[in-house]
A and B are shown apart, each in its own frame.
Chain A
Amino acid sequence: MTNHISTQIRQIARELLESKTVKCVIGYKKGTIPMREQICFARSPEQADELIWSGFCVLNQSKFLIGVEEPTAIVAQGCVTRNIIGLIRENRVKRENVHILGINSPGMLDHRKIAAKFPGREIKELWEHEDKIIASGKGFKETFPRKLFKRDNCYTCTHRNPVIYDQMIGEAGPETGGGNIDNTASPWEKKDYDQRWKIFTETFKDCIRCYACRDACPLCYCRECFVDSARPQWCGKTVEEADVHTFHILRAFHCAGRCTDCGACESACPVGIKMRRLTSKIEKDIRKMYGYSPGLKLDARLPLTEFSLNDPEGFIG
């Protein structure tokens, strides 16, 4: 599966670069260690050969379109195209500068789940073959099914096929991951306030405030983030609970009505914090209250910049 799509990406990228249709192709390349693919900027036909497609293309490269002034092609699966629409809508990206190479995502893999299968052993090499993963390392080689090791957000994905594209790579595939996105938030919703606070604290207690989640997110493009602002200082610099909570509550809220549940934040986190717990609650509320899902239409107004006279207001008073 993987290989012939990689070949196709390389070939198309090569053509686009040789014909000078685009200046750069943004895609993925092999990481320095297994299961950690990196973002690749191919600027010459030779560099196009570095491009690959695998189950670990978990970062959201739409972030790198922000501010590009020259024609750029981008390899984009469903969630990435949704973020591109968001960025065009927020005037960060010009549609005419982007050449979208749409691609169906088979559901990306979670390197942490796979590593957890081999405690104390290091995976040196890993291949994907159809719906199987083959991992090998010192003294072992094992085959296991792909579908048990996907990222959480890929199970509940609703748009695996690109929402917009200029050119399609490979075939369109199934549109959904099969899971129910509302369930991400429901375990907390059933609890009482003190228990919720307890699991909330528990979920975020290991955060080291490295801001990888913010830096990976295509929505976080402010010149000055609220966490970096010194005057007023919204959030202290420590890893003390109140500061970590402030950071995560506000980070999630700043993504309200814009987050496409691409999961780049969770994939980028070095300690495995599940911050989608917060963003998916907001996503669900906005969908239920205002009937809006982000990144589906180029002319849709963002839900929190808009209003309707009969918005729910049961909480007021």
Chain B
Amino acid sequence: MNPSRPSSFPGLRWQRDPLPGFGLGLGMTLFWLGTIVILPMVALVVRPWGEGLLSGLRAFAHAAHDGRMLAAIRVSFTSALLAAVADLVPGLLIAWALVRSDIPARRLIDMLVELPFALPTAVVGITMATLYGPNGWIGGPLARWGGHVAFTQAGIVLALMFIGLPFVVRTIAPVLRHLPRDVEEAAGILGASRLQVITRVILPALYPALVTAAGMAFARGIGEYGSVIFIAGNQPYHTEIAPLLIVIRLQEYDTQGATLIGFVLVGISLLSLAGIGLLRRHLSYGTD
């Protein structure tokens, strides 16, 4: 700050980072990210080309005409997207109940929210298939009204909603809890009705969290396997999801075909996540 005193290293100002062990921390982060995330990804990306460039290209050309694979990927993405968006409504309501209401079973609900994480996904799948099957508690009456959930895409979406719900609740609840109350009070004093406070003040403040929540549920839904296959019916071209097709290809000793599907899944997922990130950044302008 004193201009009359020249620095001993003009032009070179090394500022010590206030974090202790910054170098070590950075090294560890890169190491773990590398071994756990990046290395498998690289393997996945490299794999289709493992038998030569030509072979890889041929596999891609083949895949582009593989109707079953394209259908499976379409089923996976549309189901995950529908489930993620549909999860926002119950997720928001549950988060609201947990944070803002005084319902007696609050703690119990709080605990139950995590249940989909704790259960083996196969158990979820089997239970849902039984419940929503043609003779199940819910599926039976539903079938009489002409609604079919099990063995349709609706079943897939339902299973994914169950798996994705905790992400939504756990993403929204803390944001909701930390919304300043005086902002709502200010809106009320200015004449806004309760509904206007919710739609014009609270929800906009939650948009970024809602997008993040849906993004997480979506990402989880694309990869979900265990809970889906029991209720989906797994009809090729209709209710067969991409992860299942990967397993089938592996069982046919078609490793290249399997990794190819994985490759496409990763590509589309990354693009979707980037899009979600952009949207989130756009929506959170001013709030953080």
- Real complex partners, A and B? no
